[in-house]
Each structure stands twice: as structure tokens, then as C-alpha cells.
Chains A and B, each alone.
Chain A
């Protein structure tokens, strides 16, 4: 287990380095960063001054190493637009996005796992068809459109839910549904296939044969085993959701990381953009690593590979 954990850790670190390189190269995508900072009216002298001041005149590997060591110590630079430390801005916005992601995940899991279990218990019946239809429809629904439709009916016509803000948990209902439903099909399908496989196995027949009550067989024996891959899928999907929250946060004007990312992109605030991409990517790497470890811990066969 330790060898496996170390190996996976090494790979995760390499991935993090690759991602940081890509993130770093974002500065040079638009051409000369000094020229972009100086603006259109700047003279050649201004540009040269800015290039020196921000260190864009140094060799690229030196710039990268400098940027990375600072980022590792929590210094993501300075936002030229907000005139504030990037790390400070980001950590003030991070909790809201985490909260939104967590709500969305809770919604997705409470909808998809029971549906998946029901569908597996009664394959090829109305429930099963309904669940599969829901999955197919869910995958085709554009999230921003779905969010606007909810805003129209629940917020404007029926006036049931607030359409912006983050004051109380009620504000999170619509954004969480809009963000979470996209994950539902995948989780539901995985739960269903897992349950179908487990329910057909010998030990379930044994459990039934020795006269255990059906709920005990279903939840204690079957679901416990079928849920293992679902847990790691949920971890990975949580990472995706944090990245996808940019659309939802913009629509509901939720002052989180996604909204910050959109604002920074709109005003070309590069240090903030870079920091958000890097943080979300690292978050995803950590989540997948934890999911791998959990799987290996629960299923010793994986550790051999």
C-alpha cells in the first residue's frame, strides 16, 4: 500500500508540475505581457520600464521558477487591477464556491444514488426507464439555460426563491440544482450498473437464502460494495464542478471563485486568472489522488498495479 501510495504521489506531483507550466505559459499567450500591461498609449520607454519592473526581461525558466516558488509559499502575486494581493482576494472568495460545490454534490448524490438503486432493483420497469430518460435528458440540458428557466419560474413568476446573493441556504438552492444536475446521470448510471452486478453475485444469494430481511441485504450487503466506485467518481466530479461553477456563479451573481475568474478574464487580470486555474487544477489533482487511495484501501487488488 505504501509503495502504491508513493508511486501515485510521484505521478500526481509530476502532473502538478505540468499543469503549473501550462498555467505559467498563459502570460505569453497574448504576446508581450509588458506591452499588454502598459496599454496602447505607452511609449517604448514605458514598456521597457514595466518589463524590467515586473521581471519580464529575465530568461523564461528563471521567471517560471520564481513564479512557482512564490506560488508554493502562497504568494500568487499582485492584482494590478484590484490593487490587492491575489492570495487575499482568492481566499476571501473560495469559501462561497466550496459551499456551492458541496450543496451541488449533496443534491446530485441524494437524487442519483436512490434512483440508481431503484433502477437496479427493478431493471427494465417504469422506474428504470424513467431513471434512464432522466439521465439522457440531463446530459443534453445546457446548464446556463436550465438556470435561467429556474430563475424565470421559481424566482420571477412564482417568487419562491431568491435569484441572486448568498445570504442564507435558500439562496443556494437554485445554483446548487443547476450545477449539480449535470453530475447526476454519470453517478446514477454507475450506481445502477454496480448494484446490478452486486445483486447478481453469490454472496447476495447466500444472504437472501439465510433469511436476512430484504432491506438488510440491499443496504448492508449490496449497496456497501456497489458504492465504492461511486465515491471516487463523486470526488472527481466535485473537482469538475468547481471548474464549472463559473457559468452558474455568473448567472446567479454569486461572489465566488468562478465569478472572480469571469471578472478577471473580462478585465484581463492575468495574475488572478493564473492563480485560479492553478488552484482549481491542484484541487482536482488532490481529489483524484485521494479517490485513488480510497479505492486502493478498499480494494487490495488495485495496489498491485
Chain B
């Protein structure tokens, strides 16, 4: 067979070869799998996150002691890597100022961080996505109003307002979740608005309109699937944001209340012993850092893998 003369004939040849089964073209799924497995950040972040989620789910079986069980006789035992006669394998990470097992508190603390992260992310995600997609799809006056709402929300100082509201309404875990969820939807709205604007003028949306689809159907079936990858990226970032905010609120004494084990609260409780027992501050803070880093790495990874051209 003569060598192909131009692009068109080459295309025909390749297609013929494909039909023969001579060339196996990688499917989109294979390409995606390759990108996922080649992305170190995504794998490390995802791995650590899965580990922490498992620890949180299996807390009752993994924790060696009751996280709330106080025993002043065994208070402030250092972790096992300390050269101290008091260090013991019964309490691998030592005990806090009330004699509670630090490892057990750390394990149960993962539950609170993840619960708050996921729940606040879901609430803010629903609010922000609804606002952003509506503004992006309808444009005009609707867009102006939504933009106004976003700007108003951005001008409120988050930590301050969250603290004030929690102190006025009273603090329970669910109030903290709701307050955070109602405060951090801004990034969802901003990102969903601009990605909907990009998608809404594409041909397949016009085609759906020509077919007479309802607006709700177009938004749900045509637009949402095509902005979903951006949604996932923002969702991970906001989950990390919510976890950090909860930790800060608990650290300031207005988030999760003692004796519940929240990592932010554990840092606050350890602060008083920092001079002689710095690990009381170091351990929960490091756990918090690892969790947030893992979530952020995963978010960046998902963005790189689903939209490699967006990387900067």
C-alpha cells in the first residue's frame, strides 16, 4: 500500500487499521487511569485521606481507651519516643492534663474534623452551587443580584462572624456546622458561576434548547455534568477550609466543647503545658496539618487529572 499523502488519507488508513484491530487506541478511561497513577500528589493525598477516614470509621475498635476516661493519677505521661521512665506502651502517645489517653482522643478527634468538614462542605456546596449556576445560566439581572450577594458575603469577616453567631446562638456541633456552611459558600458560587458561563453558550446547550428541554432539565442534565470536575475541586478546598475554621473556633473556645476530642480544642488544652510537654500541642496540630494537606493535595490532583490544561 502506498504511504498516505495527506492528513485526510492518513485518517482513513488509521480508521481502517482500528477497524481491523491492528491498532489499539487507548480509551478515555485508560488515559484517565494513566494520569491518576502518574500523579504523585493525588496518590499520596488520597492515600492519607483514605487512611484517616478508615481510622475515623473504625474508631471504637482502634482506640485503645475511652477518649473521655479521666484518671488524674496517670496524667501527662509522655509519648513512647520520650526518654522517660513514665513512657509506656499502654499509652503510646501519652496522656493529657486530665490523664486521658492521647491516642484515643486523636482517633476520635478525626471523626469530628471529618464530620464537620463534610457536612459544612455539603451545606455550603448546595447554597453556592445553586447561586452560582443560576447566575451563570440566566445572566443579566439574576447575575447582578447573585454577584451582589457574593460581594456582601465576602465583606463579612468569617472567623469573627462565626465566633459571634456561635456565642449568641449557643454552641453545639450542629450549630458550628450550620454556621460554617452558611458562611463559606462564596468560592462555590464564584467558581460555579464562571464555569456555567463558559458551558452555557456551547452547542449542546443550544441543541437541548432547540429540542424544547425545560430550563431545569438543561441545568441538571446538560450543565451540571460538565461543571462537575470544578465542583469536586472546590468541594475539597472548602472541606479543608471548614476543618481549619472549626479547629480555629474550637481553639478559641467557641467550637466543639470539652470534653469532646476536637483537634483544635486539644491544641488549646495543651497550650498551657507547652513549656514542659510540647507534644501535647505538637501531635494534634500535626494531625490537623496532615489531614488538610492530604485533602488539598487530592483537590489539586483531581484538577490536574480532569483538566490538565488548567494547571499553572
Residues of chain A at the chain B interface (Cβ within 8 Å): 11, 14-16, 18-19, 22, 26, 29-30, 136-137, 139-145, 148-149, 151-152, 156, 189, 192-193, 196, 239-240, 242-244, 246-247, 250, 261-262, 265-266, 268, 273, 276-277, 280-282, 284-285, 288
Could you list 21 examples of A-B contacts with CB < 8 Å?
A: A16-B155, A19-B152, A30-B168, A136-B293, A141-B289, A142-B244, A142-B264, A142-B288, A144-B248, A144-B251, A148-B267, A149-B281, A156-B275, A193-B312, A196-B312, A240-B157, A261-B160, A262-B252, A277-B160, A277-B164, A280-B157
Q: Is the interface of B mostly helix, strand, loop or mixed?
A: helix
- Most chain A CB inside 10 Å of its own CB: which residue of B151, B240, B253, B296: B151
Task: Return the contact of A262 from the options B158, B163, B240 (Cβ within 8 A).
Answer: B163
Apart from A142-B267, A261-B163, A273-B164, list 15 A-B contacts with CB within 8 A. Answer: A16-B155, A19-B156, A22-B152, A30-B168, A139-B292, A139-B296, A141-B289, A142-B285, A144-B251, A148-B281, A148-B285, A149-B285, A156-B274, A247-B248, A276-B160
Asked if A15 and B247 sit within 8 Å, CB to CB, the answer is: no
Cα A144 to Cα B148 with chains together (Å): 32
B245 to chain A, nearest CB (A): 10
Taking CB atoms, residues of chain B closer than 8 Å to A268 are: 167-168
Of all A-B residue pairs in the complex, the 6 with the closest CB atoms, nearest first, are A243-B157, A145-B285, A140-B293, A140-B292, A30-B168, A18-B152
Taking CB atoms, residues of chain A closer than 8 Å to B278 are: 152
Q: How many cross-chain pairs have Cβ atoms below 8 Å apart between A and B?
A: 126
A15-B152 contact in complex given A140-B240, A268-B167, A281-B157, C-beta closer than 8 Å: yes
A181 to chain B, nearest CB (A): 13
Asked if B275 and A247 sit within 8 Å, CB to CB, the answer is: no
Asked if B159 lies at the interface with its beta carbon under 8 angstroms from chain A, I say: yes
Cα A273 to Cα B164 with chains together (Å): 7
B84 to chain A, nearest CB (A): 18
Asked if B168 and A277 sit within 8 Å, CB to CB, the answer is: no
Asked if B158 and A243 sit within 8 Å, CB to CB, the answer is: yes
Query: Which residue of the partner chain B has the closest CB to A123?
Result: B312
Taking CB atoms, residues of chain B closer than 8 Å to A11 are: 148, 151
Taking CB atoms, residues of chain B closer than 8 Å to A285 are: 155
A259 to chain B, nearest CB (A): 11
Task: Return the contact of A284 from the options B154, B159, B248, B252 (Cβ within 8 A).
Answer: B154
Cα A250 to Cα B268 with chains together (Å): 12
Asked if B74 lies at the interface with its beta carbon under 8 angstroms from chain A, I say: no
A90 to chain B, nearest CB (A): 13
Taking CB atoms, residues of chain A closer than 8 Å to B65 are: none
Cα A245 to Cα B252 with chains together (Å): 12
Task: Return the contact of A281 from the options B155, B168, B254, B297 (Cβ within 8 A).
Answer: B155
Taking CB atoms, residues of chain A closer than 8 Å to B269 are: none
Taking CB atoms, residues of chain B closer than 8 Å to A262 are: 163, 252
A199 to chain B, nearest CB (A): 14
Cα A136 to Cα B41 with chains together (Å): 10
Taking CB atoms, residues of chain A closer than 8 Å to B254 are: 265
B69 to chain A, nearest CB (A): 26
Cα A243 to Cα B156 with chains together (Å): 9
Asked if B300 lies at the interface with its beta carbon under 8 angstroms from chain A, I say: yes
Cα A268 to Cα B157 with chains together (Å): 18
CB interface residues, B 280-297, toward A, < 8 Å = 281-282, 285, 288-289, 292-293, 296-297
A302 to chain B, nearest CB (A): 15
Asked if B156 and A22 sit within 8 Å, CB to CB, the answer is: yes
A148-B160 contact in complex given A26-B168, A140-B240, C-beta closer than 8 Å: no
Query: Which residue of the partner chain B has the closest CB to A193?
Result: B312
Query: Which residue of the partner chain A has the closest CB to B300?
Result: A136
Taking CB atoms, residues of chain B closer than 8 Å to A156 are: 274-275
Taking CB atoms, residues of chain A closer than 8 Å to B126 are: none
Taking CB atoms, residues of chain A closer than 8 Å to B152 are: 15, 18-19, 22
Cα A157 to Cα B244 with chains together (Å): 27
B104 to chain A, nearest CB (A): 21
Asked if A136 and B267 sit within 8 Å, CB to CB, the answer is: no
Taking CB atoms, residues of chain B closer than 8 Å to A242 are: 157
Asked if B169 lies at the interface with its beta carbon under 8 angstroms from chain A, I say: yes
B266 to chain A, nearest CB (A): 11
Taking CB atoms, residues of chain A closer than 8 Å to B75 are: none
Asked if B312 and A192 sit within 8 Å, CB to CB, the answer is: yes
Taking CB atoms, residues of chain B closer than 8 Å to A143 are: 248
Taking CB atoms, residues of chain A closer than 8 Å to B35 are: none
Asked if B161 lies at the interface with its beta carbon under 8 angstroms from chain A, I say: yes
B174 to chain A, nearest CB (A): 16
Cα A244 to Cα B163 with chains together (Å): 12
Taking CB atoms, residues of chain B closer than 8 Å to A26 are: 164-165, 168
Query: Which residue of the partner chain B has the closest CB to A241?
Result: B157
Taking CB atoms, residues of chain A closer than 8 Å to B267 are: 142, 144-145, 148
A95 to chain B, nearest CB (A): 18
Asked if A15 and B292 sit within 8 Å, CB to CB, the answer is: no
A140-B155 contact in complex given A26-B168, A148-B267, A247-B252, C-beta closer than 8 Å: no
